[in-house]
Amino acid sequence: SRHHQLVKVISLHLLALSSPLLAARFLAILLDGDLEYTPDHELKVSLKTEQPEAVTTKLRDAGLLLLPAGDVVKIKACDFCDGDKRDPIPYAEQLQEKLGGLSVPKELKIGFNGCGMACYGAVTEDIGIVYRRKKFDLFLGAKPIGRNAHVGIPVVEGLEPSKLVPLVVAIVEQFRQEGLPNERFYKFFKRVQNIQGFMYQEVPTLVALEPDVC
């Protein structure tokens, strides 16, 4: 209903909840809501209210980052080794500012990892960004779930940092313009074959597969 506001709080700022005071405030705000912890390390909040803005304002004021639920862009950044590896953080923030929460044909996750360890699994997201030797590597079109799951296709190594944000914005814009309703990003890449000049490459299937049941 129009009174039913669903908000999501992404993991980037979840660390802040390790403060007992903030956690207590957060729970107090959500006293009447449902809270679900998702496989993407998000807190998904559902509650019925006549005044959704009053709730979202309180959550924002508590220092949390909110995203609308549904088919939107999500930036999934690592914790940059608890902030020790700071150099790439401004680029993650710019992407969040320009793209976070934007509506897309199907939910689009952009993984952003601060070093070549990529320990938060950026290469398994729809778009994967890895900072390495002061430059960026870019991966497109991973399929993160299912028996034929695969990582993204590496399309650029050693991208100049100044080119990262405009390129990722252009990729997302192409998906917004040309993607079919409900079309996942890896299927979109396979169908259009060319995203911003990067050509699709067939991913080898290593197991004999029956068709997906869902």
Instruction: Give the interface with ligand SF4 as residue ranges (CB under 6 A).
Output: 78-81, 85, 113-115, 117-120
7 vs 164, beta carbon nearer ligand SF4: 164
The position carrying tokens 């993991």 is 11
> How near is the Cβ of 176 to ligand SF4 at its closest, in Å?
28
Q: What is the DSSP string of 173-199?
A: HHHHHHPPTT--HHHHHHHH-EETTEE
> How near is the Cβ of 114 to ligand SF4 at its closest, in Å?
3
Rounded-to-integer distance, Cα 124 and Cα 151, Å: 5
> How near is the Cβ of 85 to ligand SF4 at its closest, in Å?
4
Name the residue among 185, 88, 79 with its Cα closest to residue 130. 88
87 vs 97, beta carbon nearer ligand SF4: 87
65 vs 92, beta carbon nearer ligand SF4: 92
Residues in Cβ contact with 16 at an 8 Å cutoff, skipping those fewer than 6 apart: 22, 63, 64
> How near is the Cβ of 80 to ligand SF4 at its closest, in Å?
5
* Strand, coil or helix: 16: helix
24 vs 119, beta carbon nearer ligand SF4: 119
Length of the chain, please? 214
Structure tokens at 146: 């299912």
* Strand, coil or helix: 201: coil
Q: Indicate the DSSP class of residue 112.
A: E
Rounded-to-integer distance, Cα 70 and Cα 181, Å: 13
70 vs 116, beta carbon nearer ligand SF4: 116
> How near is the Cβ of 157 to ligand SF4 at its closest, in Å?
17
26 vs 131, beta carbon nearer ligand SF4: 131
> How near is the Cβ of 50 to ligand SF4 at its closest, in Å?
41
